[in-house]
Chain A
């Protein structure tokens, strides 16, 4: 048994495997398939101050080795989360982390402040990288000034572990990472989805209701690895890597590129029990390769 426990800021995780926001519901959708208690952490769906209906159907298009989505942050708002969902999550042993989104720095901060009151939620992940909403979302995540403004507002309102999720839809992601680190982020996670398109040539229309969507799945992994590598070299705070992880070997690639922890997203759709296999597989890999502690291989490249 290798030592897989890691720390993100003040947060200790039993292992580096988390689930990615928007691909794992509230976690409860998966309890028939896996033991939530075994996860390092699970990040629940994007939450905003007020309820949102999201974008129109169709919201999904399959691509070679991946998919595009334009869900657009459909959620019932932070108060619904606090009242209805939190009580169902608070007794699981692994950490639930809330993915927080908004339209202005103020409502990001307000939403974060509400989540801060929940005793058993030790961290939030700030989504400044959603490509599927017009206001806020990625608009903040693609400039240093925008990213810094949101992180600054939230940092003032949120005392616990603050993870900031970065957009790959930028020229230099390490610049953005440094900007959010400077404003007091405890960790960065990357990548969110890559903006893309898919066309129905018979109807001569996009397959997605808003024209574009965010690409995820194995097809984005090489880009995600490169960005994690770049960012890990640019900042001192721990990096959480994701994008196309389907198995333990993929996860270890991210760790070697500098990720302290990883998230599993789209793979949950293909195999709802994949996270358990990744935890076991990472442990086996470490044992087979004489790695006693996962920290031995973080950022070896």
Chain B
């Protein structure tokens, strides 16, 4: 897929929580390129002297008709905090779309049931994945996890796409515990599982999927410099040796990783 380095226009900045924003971007001059779920954008951060490199952020939602797309950003450090100070009308230099993306099987292979599991800001790529699976005729189900109710973001948007289940560690919303404790693992079966979030969560989801002999794809968030396969900084150990997460990932079949 062709990659672009472009100045995109900030259409909207919505605070979902004091430290989470939904950033809506648009290309004022061209039609947005096709973007696959799991792919990401490398953003040049301005107004943060400590931030030298670009910041990788997953594509969260695409609105083709309006020629806009969303990023869900958790302010965890100087770079992402500077992004929360953006305002409508600002421009942002973006390299995109990057990475391989999640697989969407052709519907003529049969309609499939997907369980998409997200934790924290790892829910970001799951929304677009669900959106694309549904558009292709498949059935996405979401399972979102957080410590408490305030960690569950964009709930309505998930519910608009598919059935959405929640776990919270304090039982403030949905079932109590971690995503792997949810009853849906006992009551239903799925053709495919995908997950993005903290590594311990992804490992636990991977074990659940393996125990059920269900394929499982994970989206990794390794530290990156270039984002285009040039620097070899972002590598993950796989059965094929060290590979770049920015080009051969961020989505991997968990069986190709050497996690366990």
| In the complex, residue of chain B having the shortest beta-carbon distance to the beta carbon of A24 | B230
| In the complex, residue of chain A having the shortest beta-carbon distance to the beta carbon of B222 | A57
B232 pairs with A74, CB closer than 8 A: yes
| In the complex, residue of chain B having the shortest beta-carbon distance to the beta carbon of A74 | B232
B228 pairs with A270, CB closer than 8 A: no
Stretch of B1-9, B121-129, B168-176 at the chain-chain interface: B1-9
| In the complex, residue of chain B having the shortest beta-carbon distance to the beta carbon of A66 | B52
Q: Mark B120-160, 1 if CB is under 8 A from A, else 0.
A: 00000000000000000000000000000000000000000
| A67, CB-defined interface residue at 8 Å | yes
B231 pairs with A22, CB closer than 8 A: yes
Instruction: Give complex CA distance A54, B95 in Å.
Output: 27
Stretch of B104-112, B204-212, B233-241, B248-256 at the chain-chain interface: B233-241
Partner of B95, one of A57, A60, A217, A272: A272
A268 pairs with B230, CB closer than 8 A: yes
Q: Mark A56-97, 1 if CB is under 8 A from B, else 0.
A: 111110111111010100100000000000000000000000
Residues 18 to 37 of chain A near chain B (Cβ within 8 Å):
22-25, 29-30, 32-33
Q: Mark B1-19, 1 if CB is under 8 A from A, else 0.
A: 0111100000000000000
Report A-chain residues with C-beta under 8 Å of the C-beta of B223: 57-58, 60
B154–chain A nearest beta-carbon distance, Å = 29
| In the complex, residue of chain B having the shortest beta-carbon distance to the beta carbon of A56 | B237
- What DSSP secondary structure best describes chain A's contact surface? loop
B53 pairs with A67, CB closer than 8 A: yes
Report A-chain residues with C-beta under 8 Å of the C-beta of B235: 54, 57, 59, 74
Instruction: Give complex CA distance A241, B124 in Å.
Output: 43
B50 pairs with A57, CB closer than 8 A: no
| In the complex, residue of chain A having the shortest beta-carbon distance to the beta carbon of B241 | A53
Q: Mark B30-59, 1 if CB is under 8 A from A, else 0.
A: 000000000000001000011111100000
| A117, CB-defined interface residue at 8 Å | no
B41–chain A nearest beta-carbon distance, Å = 13
Q: Mark A143-171, 1 if CB is under 8 A from B, else 0.
A: 00000000000000000000000000000
| In the complex, residue of chain B having the shortest beta-carbon distance to the beta carbon of A70 | B233
A59/B228 contact (C-beta < 8 A), A64-B50, A270-B44, A271-B5 known = no
